A and B are shown apart, each in its own frame.
Chain A
Amino acid sequence: MPNRTFFWFILPAMTAMILLIALPIVSVLIQSVHIQHEQVLVTSESCDPFGCTQVTSIDTEATAKLRAEKPLGRFIGLDTYTDRAHLAIDEVSKAWSSSDSMGAFLKRVLNLPLYKALAFTITYTVFVTPLVILLGLAVAVGVNNLPKIIKGPTVFISLLPMIITPLVGSIILFWMVDGDGIIGAMLQRIFEDNSLSLKASPRLTWIMLIVYGVWHHLPFSFIVFYAGLQTVSEDTMEAAMIDGASSWQRMIHVVVPHLMPLVIFLLLIQLMDNFRVFEPIIGFSAEAHATSLSWIIFNALRESGSPLFSSAGATSMITIVGVVILLVPLLVHTYRGYNKKTN
C-alpha cells in the first residue's frame, strides 16, 4: 500500500490516539512538575494610638485571580515526586538510618501512602496472576473432558464473572461478604464472633480483594486455555496413550508443553492488568486498608473543590513507569513474533 493511501486510512485513528493518549501523558508530566500557586499574602500596617504593627493577611481575590489565570501553577521541578505523599525520599532515608532491623524499616516505609499502595498492588499482582493461570488451566481441562452437550452452558456461566462491570461485580460480592450478607453472616456463625468483619482487618480485606481478582480474571485464562486445548494434536495424545502414559502423565508431558506459549502470553497480560487494580477498591470500600496506585490518582483528582493535579500527575508518572517496566517483556515477545512471521 502506498504511503499516501496508508496515511489517509490511518489518519482518524492516529489523530485520536495522539491527541487523547500521547498528549495527555505529556500533560501529566508537565502537571507533575508544577504546583498550584500559593496564596497571595498582603502585608499592611495597622496603626493605633499605641504604635504600628505589621499585619499579614490573605488576599483571597488576588489568589483566586492568579489561580484562575494560571491554573497550572508555578514550576517546582521534582519536589512533588520526592515529598512525603510520593517517593518520600527524606522519610525513607530517615527510616533507613534510624531503624535497627529490616522489619522495623519496612514497617515505617509501608506507612507512607505511596509505598502502602505499592505494597498492596504488588501483593495483589503476585497472588492473583499465578492463581488465575493455574486455576484457569484446571477448569479448562475439566470442561474439555465434559460431554459436548453441557460445554456450551458451561462456557456461558464461566464468562459471567469477567464480562460483569468490575465495579458492579465487586459491589455484588461486597454485599455478600458484608456483615449482614449471606457469606459474612455465615462466617460470623462459624467463628461464633458477631463482630467479625472482612472490612475491619487489613489482612482479611486483602484476601477478599485477591479472591475477587481471581474470580474476575479466571474466565479469561480459562477461555484462552480452552481454545488452546482444542489445538492439542490427537496423534501425539494417542501415541502417548499407546506408550502407556497415564492421563496425568499425558497432561504434564504433552498438554502443558503445548500450552506453554499461552501461559507466557497470559502471564504478561495478567501482570499488566493486575497492576492497574482500581475498581474493586471502590466497590469493596476497601480504601482504609488497601490502596493502589490508580486509587491514589483517583483520590487526588476527587479532592473536593480543587483537584490535586500536581500530586495526581506525579503518581501517574510513577504508575506509567511501572507499567512500562511490566510491558517490556510483552513488547519483546510481540517483536520476536513479528520478526518470525515476516522472515
Chain B
Amino acid sequence: MTFDRPQAWALLALAVPIVVLHLRFRKRRDAEVPSLSLWRDLVPAGVGRRGFRRVEDASQLACLLAALVAFTAALAGPVTGGSAPQARRLAIVVDASASMNALVPRPAGSPPDAFPSTRFEAARAAALAAVGKLGPKDELVVWEATARPRVVVEPTTDAAAARVAISRLAPTLETCGLRRTLDLVRLSLGRDDAADVVVLTDAVGAHDLAAWGELPPTWRVGAAGAPQARNAGIVAADVDVVGTGRTSGSELRLRARVARTDGGGGRRTLVLRSPTAEVARADVDVPESGSVDAVLPLDSVTAGGPLVLRLEPTDDFPEDDVAVMLLAAPKRLVIALAAPSLVPSPFLVATLRAMPDRVDAERAVLTGPDAPASAFADADVIVAEDRLPPAAPRDRPTLLFGAAGRSGSGPIDRPLVWGTGRHAVLDGVDLAPLRIDRASVLDVGPSDRVLIECAEGPVAVASEGGGVRRLRFGFRPDATTLPLEPAFPLIVRNALRWLARPPLLPPSVRAGGPMATAEPVPAVERLWFVGPGARPPQPVIVRDGALVEVAPFPAPLGPGGLDFEPPATPVGVASTALRVAAASARLLRVRGLPGDPATAVNWFPADGFHLVPDVPRAPDVADVVAALPDRGGTASRRAGWAAACALAGVAALVLGTLAMNTGRQRTTAPTGV
C-alpha cells in the first residue's frame, strides 16, 4: 500500500499534545471541602472503582489515538496495487464535420440499439468512455473539430458535467478543421508534454495530420466508422429540356449526375420511381474521381407528379442517395362546346382541331344550351356561343362568344374596335384588320380586364375570380372577319392557355435558384421547410419565376428548419419559393405541398462535396480509448481505502465518547480548587 499524500502522516505529531492533555485532564484534581466527615463513608466506593477507572482512561486514550491514526491515514490517501498517479490533463478532440454523419455498418445479427448508428455516435461513445477513465483530479477539456473549432468543455475536473456536455454534442455540416483544431489544442496545452490527447475522427481530413508532422506519443488518433468512407451521391437531376421539349406526346428524359465523394468507385444503380410504380433504372459506374451522367426515359410519365430518384444500394451517406422532385406534365384539355341548336361555328371547331397538343379532340363534347350538368363533368374548359348553358358548372374556365350585352343597350353595328394594352390572350394578335358586323357592349366588373373595346364600350373582357378565369367576347366569330384572319387560331390558343393556368412548379431546383411551390400563395396557409444546415433557407415571393420580394424571415424550427407563413395580402399569381445558400444545404425537404404533404425536393449544393484522398487507417476509437490508462479505477480504490479509514476514525471517536460518558456524567470544574 502506498499513499498519495505521505506528508499527511505528520499529523500524527498531534498524538503528543493529545496524550499530554489527556494526562492533564485525567489527573486527580484537588478540591477543598469544609469537612471530610461526610465524605469519609463514600471513599470505599470510589476506591473500589479506581482500577476500573484506569482501564477506562486507557481505553479513552487508545480510542482517541486510534481515531487520530485513522483520520491521518484517510488524509494520506491510501492506494493499493501501485503508486497513486499524479493529476494529468486529457484533451479530447471530437470531429464534428459533416462526414461524421456517415452510417456505421452494423455487424450481422446485432440488435439495432446495440451499436452506434453513425460515426459521430461512435466518437461520442468513445469520448464518454474516456471520461470514465479520468482520475478525481484529472483535468479534461473537449474540443469540437470543425471549420470553426471551439471548446465545448472548458478545462474541468467535473466528470459529470463533462459527460452532460459531450452527450449534447451533435455533428455539423461543416468541413473538418482538424489541423487547425489540433494546432489550437497544442497551443492550449503549452509545454505539458505529459498531457493525453485523444483525437476522435473518421479520418476524413486526416491528411492534415500527415502534413502537421509526427504526433507526440501521448497523442492518440482514433478512427470512427468504417475503415474508409464510402459515399457517392446524386449531385444533379433535371428533366432534359434540350430534347423535344415539354409538350404532350414528346419524349422526356431525366438526366442525372452521380459523383463520388469518399472511398473508391463502384457500380451503382439509379432507380426512378413514381408513387405507384418504377419508372426507369440505369446502372452507373461511379469513377474514382469526377462524376458520371445517366439518362432515364420519362415516356411513361404522362401525368407528372412526384418522382423519386434513388441511388442503390445506399452507402455511408444515405441522404444524398435520393432525389425527390415534382415533374410538371401539362395535360391536354377536354373541351365542352355548347352551341345553339347543336351547330357550332365551323371556324371554331376547325381551330380547336388544329391544336391537338392543347386540346383532346377525341374527348371533346358538343352540347346544346339545355344540356345537363353531367355533360360538363370531364370538361376542363367550356366553350360556348351566345350564352352559357345554365347547367354549366361555374368553377370551370369559360370561353363565351356572342355574350349578351349590358342591359338597356342594343347591339352595335360595325363598331370600330381596338385593343386595350397587353394581355396573354392577345399576345401576338393584330386587331387592325378586324371588322365586326354586330357586337354587344359588355358589363365590366371590378376585377374584369377589358381586352377589346369600341367607342360605346368593351366588347371583350377577361375576368378572374374564385380561382376561375373567364373570357367573354361580345360578338360571334361568324359575325366578324376574325375567322379569316391568322389571328383567330392564335386568340383561341392564347385563350385556352390563359384559361388553363400553367403549372408553376419547375421540375427540379438547384442551389442558389428559387424553388416555387405548386400553388399560389393564397392557397397554402403554411409551409414547412425542413432542411439541414445551420442557416435556414430564405423564403422569397416570386411571380412567374421572377423574384418579387423577400418574405419576412420567420423563426427557425429546429436545426435548419423554419415555419413559413405567406404574406397576409394576396399577391396575385405570386407563389412562395426558397433561396438556399449553396454551401449550407445538401438536401431540402418541403412539407405542406397540396396533395402530398411528404413531398421532398432535392437541393443540390453547387460546389458539390469536398474530395479527399485516402489516408492510412487509424485505430478504432474504441481501441484508442481502451489504451488510455484507467485512472478512474485507481481513484475508486483510493476513495474506498480513504473512506474506510475515515469510518474507522469515526468509530474510534464514538467508542471513546461512550467510554468517557461511562466514567463520569458531570464535567463542571470544582470550586475552590
Are A and B physically bound partners? no
Interface residues in chain B, defined as those with a beta carbon under 8 Å from any beta carbon in chain A:
none
